[in-house]
Amino acid sequence: MKKKMRIMTEKPLNAETPIESLRTWTTDNAVFFKRNQGQIMQRPIKLTAWKLNIDGLVKHSLTLSFEEIRRMPKAEVANTLECSGNSRSLLDEKASGNPWTIGGVGNAIWGGIWLKDLLAKAELKKDARHVSFEGFDKPLGKAGIKFIRSIPLEKAMDSTLLAYEMNGQPLPLKHGYPLRALALGWTGANCVKWLHKITVLDQPHEGFFMDRVYRVFQKGEDPKTGKVVKEIDIKSIIVEPANA
């Protein structure tokens, strides 16, 4: 009998994987941790209506259908995804945010296309330095702040996948269907779900989810001066016996 996920919040949906489900090489899609900042998509968008737009510092703005993306060379990679705040509740000093224990992590075989192949089609301008991702999820609260993140161009051109499959299945709705960004080896904050827009920039995207959160800084410091959370740090857990 599978253990249920531990749900921390319903709106937005934030839930962690039970430790028993971390014993296998790949984590079952159904219990793979879920981390959201906004209202997630409630029903799948029709693939015939979905488009991916690429604009900004490119010579050719692109609008691609899902079928056009599927026709591009496919890549499959094993990649561990982890929430930036995983294990937060185990810190000696109490930290604000969702009380993750150790279940904000999972491993999957992802299928999709390399972002660099799309950027090659668009042809980057010489001052291109960063790439931002925007999804379809809707902001919660009166401020209406969209979840937009950017990564350096070096990462975009090296090891960033646009995934439409997860463990051999179409990408599940709650994990970003039909397409999500995956900055391989980086935390989930850099892997935008329900992707529909990619913008090439000459500097990092400026916005709340780049400037105020997902940064490491000391109390009293301006968050914008802190280091952006990128790579997943090495850590380990004992999953069997579960209470070890």
Per-residue HEC secondary structure of the chain comes to CCCCCEEEECCCCEEECCHHHHCCCCCCHHHCCECCCCECCCCCCCCCCCEEEEEECECCCEEEEHHHHHCCCCEEEEEEEECCCCCHHHCCCCCCCCCCCCCCEEEEEEEEEEHHHHHHHHCECCCCCEEEEEECCECCCCCCCCCEEEEEHHHHHHCEEEEEEECCEECCHHHCCCCEEEECCECHHHCCCCEEEEEEECCCCCCHHHHCCCEECCCCCCHHHCEECCECCCCCCCCCCCCC
Which residues, in sequence order, are CB contacts of 106 under 8 Å at separation 6+? 17, 22, 27, 32, 33, 80, 81, 82
Q: What percent of the chain has pLDDT over 70?
A: 97
Task: List beta partners, residue 130.
Answer: 152, 201
**Could you tell me the two tokens for 151?**
């990564």
- The C-alpha atoms of residue 147 and residue 141 are separated, in whole angstroms, by 13
The rounded mean pLDDT for the chain is 92
How much is the pLDDT for 244?
53
Domains annotated for the chain, with CATH where assigned, are 6-228 (3.90.420.10)
- The C-alpha atoms of residue 134 and residue 123 are separated, in whole angstroms, by 20
More confident position, 240 or 186: 186
Condensed to tens digits (0 to 9), the pLDDT of residues 27-53 reads 999 999 999 988 887 888 999 999 999
Task: List beta partners, residue 46.
Answer: none
What is the pLDDT confidence band of residue 194, given thresholds at 50, 70 and 90?
A: very high
Which of 75-89, 171-185, 209-223 has the lowest average pLDDT? 209-223
pTM of the prediction?
0.92
